[in-house]
Amino acid sequence: MTKTILLTGASGGVGLELIKPLSDAGYDLALHYHEKLGPLAEKLDEVKPKTNVACFKADLTVENEVVTLFNGLKDFCGGIDILVNNAGISMSGMSWKMELSDWMTTLNTNLTSAFLCTKNALPYMRENNWGRIINVSSVVAQTGFIGTSAYAASKAGLYGFTKSVAKEVANKNITVNTMSYGYMNAGMIDVLTEDLQAEILSQIPQKQFGSIESIAKTITFLGSDEASYITGQNIPINGGLA
C-alpha cells in the first residue's frame, strides 16, 4: 500500500526541492503551505501525472487550523503515515536586541507547530499501529550561531520533544526522529551574503553544502519498515560540521 507523507512548509526552499524526489520514491503527497501557494504550482505540474498529491493551507501555530488541515487529510487519503515537520523560519537578531514578538513567532513556528501536527497525526498512527514522525532541526541547535538565539532554541527544543514522544508511542510501532540539517544547497542559505556563505563553507569539513537528495533519502529510509528500530534519535546531515 502506498504511504502518504505530510510535508509541512512545502512551499519553502527545501520543501519545494523535496517534492520531486519524494514523488519519485513512490509516496502520496500532502503538501502544506501557509501563504505562498504560487511556488508550489510548477512542482505540482511535475509530479501530478504519477503522484496522488494535494495542497493544504494552514497557519500551523493556530490549533483549529491544524485540526482543519487534518480533517482535510482524512478526506484526501484517510489519514497519514509519515509526518515531516519541515516548516520553519529564522528571525535573526542579537539576543539583547530581539523583540519578544520575534522570539515567540520563531518558537511557535518552529516548535509549537511540530507539537500541534504531531498531536493531530498520532491518533491516526496509533489506530493503524504504524507511523513515522520526522522533525527537522538544524546544526545551529548544536553549534550556535551569532544572531540566531531564537532559531537555535526552537530547533534544540525539537530534540527533547523527539526523545519524549518517541518513548510515548514506541509500543505502537511509531518512530519519532530528528534530522538536523547543516548548510544545504537550498533554503535559508539563499538569504546569506556570498561572503558569509564562503566563510561557512570554509568551516565544513567536506567543503561543500549538503544536497536535497541526501535529505530525501534520509526521509525515505526513516519512513521505511527497515528503520523500525531507530527512534528517539537525531540524524545529522551536516558534512561533518558538528
Catalytic residue positions, numbered: 151
The contacts of residue 200 (CB under 8 Å, 6+ apart) are: 183, 192
Distance CA 227, CA 220 (A): 10
How far from the centroid of its chain's Cα atoms is residue 181's Cα? 10
CB 234 within 8 A of CB 157: no
Q: Write out the three cell numbers for 231.
A: 527512534
Q: Write out the three cell numbers for 78.
A: 484517510
Element (H, E) at 125: helix 113-128
From start to end of the chain, where are the E strands?
4-7, 28-33, 53-57, 82-85, 131-138, 174-181, 234-237
